[in-house]
Structure 1
Amino acid sequence: MTSPDEGGLQGRGEIGLAPRVHEVDMLRGFALFGILLVNAPMIAGTYAGEVGGAGGSGLDRGVVWLVTALVSTEFYLPFSFLFGYSFVLQERAARRAGTAFASLHLRRTLALFALGVAHAVLLFPGDILMTYAVLGLVLYGLRGLGPRAALRIAGCLVVALAVLLLGYGLLVLAFTDPAVPATPRAPVSHVPPIVHAYRGGFRSVVGAHLGELPAHLGADLLYAPDILAAFLAGLAAAKAGLMERRGRDRAWLRRVVVRWLPVGLVGSVFTACCAEGPLDGRWFMVGQAVATLTSPALTAAYACALLLLLDTRGRAARLLAAAGRMSLTHYLTQSLVLACVFTGYGLGLYGRVGTALVSAGCVLLYAAQLALGARLMGRVRYGPVELLLRTVTLGTPPRTPAWTAVRPADDGVPPVR
């Protein structure tokens, strides 16, 4: 999730500063908002407490349905795709610097894994960094694939996962009776133990994280083929120079949107119907199978639409690019802020706030991140966590001072003021 191109040769043994792919930073900055919308309700406990979820207001249920349809399965894919894209750029940079890429990549993945463990235990058990680190080692073993071979394997992984999910979903439909609508009843005062745990002190919150971690790791394992497929798609795109060749080709971007947006929307609407109604819960896995097949289409349409709508030198594009350059810092900060608001670390509002209000808070948090991130990246070269990860990866602090602002020559775009 860190910056994809920390590129060229500043001196033998150091990975220096090559021209950045500005469109990549924009897409990463945009994807941060989708990740926030998906993670926030889980950290806030909107599905476990007194409000939100199935028992929430009509507005809350509507927001959940829309987030499921338009966001839930579409916004982890850009980060996975860009992880693979970054991998190729980092390998090229190491080759230009005359540095052994294997040791760099191993240190980087170990650092990502350690960050993921800390994130999962302290802030949010739905962490993705540990999975990225493990699959990053698999990607290293597949680095010699050409673009066509990488795409073929990616396609096979996606289809295999979709068939697995569909098969399980059809078995559920065949052998499970339809759910009987619940009879309305008066609210009860009972609060689930998990809610008490998240509203407790530090040890209680960490214990709740550890208790939920196996389920999240199991979900990551199930969807690992999809994540690896996105890694391989990014690897293929980087080897073909897709972003550099097509990132500003408006005719090509428009064709992608026109061709794939309808496919993605149909699939996402069906997925939301399976997960959030009107279809009952027996359809959930069928919806996930459809999402596995169609989410890449909607993700590609989103990305191309964003590049069509934004002038890469406009203020909005610069704000997104600045956020993308420190996306790992932003990702962890989102979890920290939400944990302080909703768990016993701070206000203890876990399960007390509906999905609609949580989503509105996400808009405010993301806007604050864009503004503060732009100011920070106008003054320093790396975000705090990016600097830590880079230092561990290289085994030494960067020779270029971290407080040196990015010059226009570095990425073709002046710093945001």
Structure 2
Amino acid sequence: MRRPEGNGAGTGRVHELDVLRGFALLGILLVNTLMTAGPYCALGGAPGAPVIDMVAAWAVTALVSAKFYLLFSFLFGYSFVLQERSARRAGVAFAPRHLRRVLGLFGIGLVHAVLLYPGDILMTYASLALALYGLRGLTARTALRIAACLVVGLALLLFGYGLLTVAFTEPLAPGRYAPPAARAVAAYRGGVLSVLVAHLRELPSQLGADLVYCPDMFAAFLAGLAAARCGLVERHGRDRVWLRKVVVRWLPVGLAGGVVSACCANWPLDSSWILVGHAVAVLTGPALTASYACGLLLLVRPAAAVVLAASGRMALTHYLTQSLVLALVFTGYGLALYDRVGTALVVAGCLVFYGLQLALGVRLMERVRYGPVELVLRAVTLAGRPGNYRASGATWTGSRPAADDVRPVR
């Protein structure tokens, strides 16, 4: 298979990254929806819930949770290097451009967290992006070593604290809501003001949770930076032998870790084992994430690649759209179905919604180069109106893109 023209490091848009972003949107949607749909939706519902709901939640924990935010984080680190190269080619200073992008991303995240979803990740990404800029001179080897230390250190911390939790904490009694969960049910079924107050009340704890998992996210940033330094995706993104080796080597490790984490967080172990499960997920999640990424690039057909890449190019718009729709469905902004829909039905709805997003992404990218939110962020980054934001009509056949679709990532 011939390599796309301009798909080398620093010479054009890396389409495989867009494909992976489009795929990662599904995992983000599943996890965020279960967190938005009810206090115990991610656990399969309250005690006594139907078996199908428990199975659906168990599967999401094992196969999805703590996997796809790693993929997005890796892609963020990879794109950081491409943006740096783009600024160099354009003959402009990277630091002011990067700072404007970070501030724009943080602002979007703050609005998102207050209005739609307090579990927003954009503010955390923006903050970590400043640290990434400070470490941009690291060699690939050093970046990977630091990333490994961060992952292992966080896993050990969670495992130790988790064992203390198992030893000294009583699990939640069957059939009872914890008081904070009961308050959340009432708040999210209330009016607009009630929902906003609930978001503000939850925001500090959500930011605290992001702070705990910052080492894991930043490790993925560094892994992406290291991969971009050596052009990993450009060299191996379509190397079927290499992709197959990664899947064969790491998929069993990732699946085993997913099973253990689901057993701890969902069933058969009780709620006191959740942090132990998180520790296992942190340690083995990168293996499953890498397997997913390589397996997708190995198996995806050209038509599917075009669809996924279109949505990947407007991933930020899709991410915020997901939160808007979820807020309208589950909170007092709209239908107020919070804690009223079973996990299995929620998962099925996610699959339908994701399919609609993919279809919309294709149609929109036929007309424009950037999604609406990407266009705003790009304008902030460049401190002015972007140039040509209309679509060029380019297509990707799977072997090489049209020449005018090869452009720098900025």
Match in the other structure for 1:375:
363
Shift of 1:31: 0.5
**Amino acid in the other structure paired with 1:407:** A
Instruction: Select which of 323, 326, 336 maps to 1:348.
Output: 336
Instruction: Select which of 320, 327, 340 maps to 1:332.
Output: 320
Shift of 1:197: 1.4
Match in the other structure for 1:12:
none
Match in the other structure for 2:305:
317
Q: Distance in 1 between matches of 2:261 and 2:41?
A: 22
Q: What are the equivalent positions in structure 2 for 1:136-175 lying under 5 Å apart? A: 136-175=129-168
Shift of 1:175: 3.4
Q: Distance in 2 between matches of 1:144 and 1:346?
A: 48
1:153 to 1:180, Cα distance in 2 relative to 1, 3 A: closer
Q: Distance in 2 between matches of 1:173 and 1:86?
A: 40
Instruction: Select which of 212, 228, 240 maps to 1:238.
Output: 228
Q: Please say if residues 70 and 289 of structure 2, whose CA atoms lie closer than 8 Å, have aligned partners that are also in contact.
A: yes
Q: Within the alignment, does 1:76 sit opposite 2:64 as a pair?
A: no
**Amino acid in the other structure paired with 2:251:** L
Shift of 1:68: 0.4
Q: Distance in 1 between matches of 2:147 and 2:153?
A: 10
Q: Please say if residues 365 and 391 of structure 2, whose CA atoms lie closer than 8 Å, have aligned partners that are also in contact.
A: no
Shift of 1:403: 2.2
Shift of 1:196: 2.1
Q: Please say if residues 198 and 344 of structure 1, whose CA atoms lie closer than 8 Å, have aligned partners that are also in contact.
A: yes
Shift of 1:172: 2.3
Instruction: Select which of 110, 121, 125 maps to 1:117.
Output: 110
Q: What are the equivalent positions in structure 2 for 1:273-288 lying under 5 Å apart? A: 273-288=263-278
Q: Within the alignment, does 1:252 sit opposite 2:239 as a pair?
A: no
Q: Please say if residues 112 and 320 of structure 2, whose CA atoms lie closer than 8 Å, have aligned partners that are also in contact.
A: yes
Structure 2-normalised TM-score? 0.91
Shift of 1:408: 4.4
Q: Please say if residues 46 and 353 of structure 1, whose CA atoms lie closer than 8 Å, have aligned partners that are also in contact.
A: no
Match in the other structure for 1:35:
28
Shift of 1:330: 0.2
Match in the other structure for 2:286:
296
Q: Within the alignment, does 1:133 sit opposite 2:120 as a pair?
A: no
Match in the other structure for 1:403:
390
Q: What are the equivalent positions in structure 2 for 1:91-110 lying under 5 Å apart? A: 91-110=84-103
Percent identical: 65
Q: Distance in 2 between matches of 1:397 and 1:181?
A: 57
1:175 to 1:409, Cα distance in 2 relative to 1, 3 A: closer
Q: Distance in 1 between matches of 2:169 and 2:195?
A: 36
Q: Please say if residues 18 and 410 of structure 1, whose CA atoms lie closer than 8 Å, have aligned partners that are also in contact.
A: no
Matched position secondary structure for 1:161: helix
CA RMSD of aligned residues (A): 2.4
Q: Distance in 2 between matches of 1:18 and 1:204?
A: 50
Match in the other structure for 1:218:
208
In structure 1, stretches of 5+ residues that fail to align are: 1-5, 9-16
Matched position secondary structure for 2:87: helix
1:56 to 1:282, Cα distance in 2 relative to 1, 3 A: same
1:221 to 1:69, Cα distance in 2 relative to 1, 3 A: same
CA shift digits 1:209-257 (9 cap, x unpaired): 1111111111100000000000000000000000000001111100000
Q: Distance in 2 between matches of 1:377 and 1:39?
A: 25
Shift of 1:405: 3.2
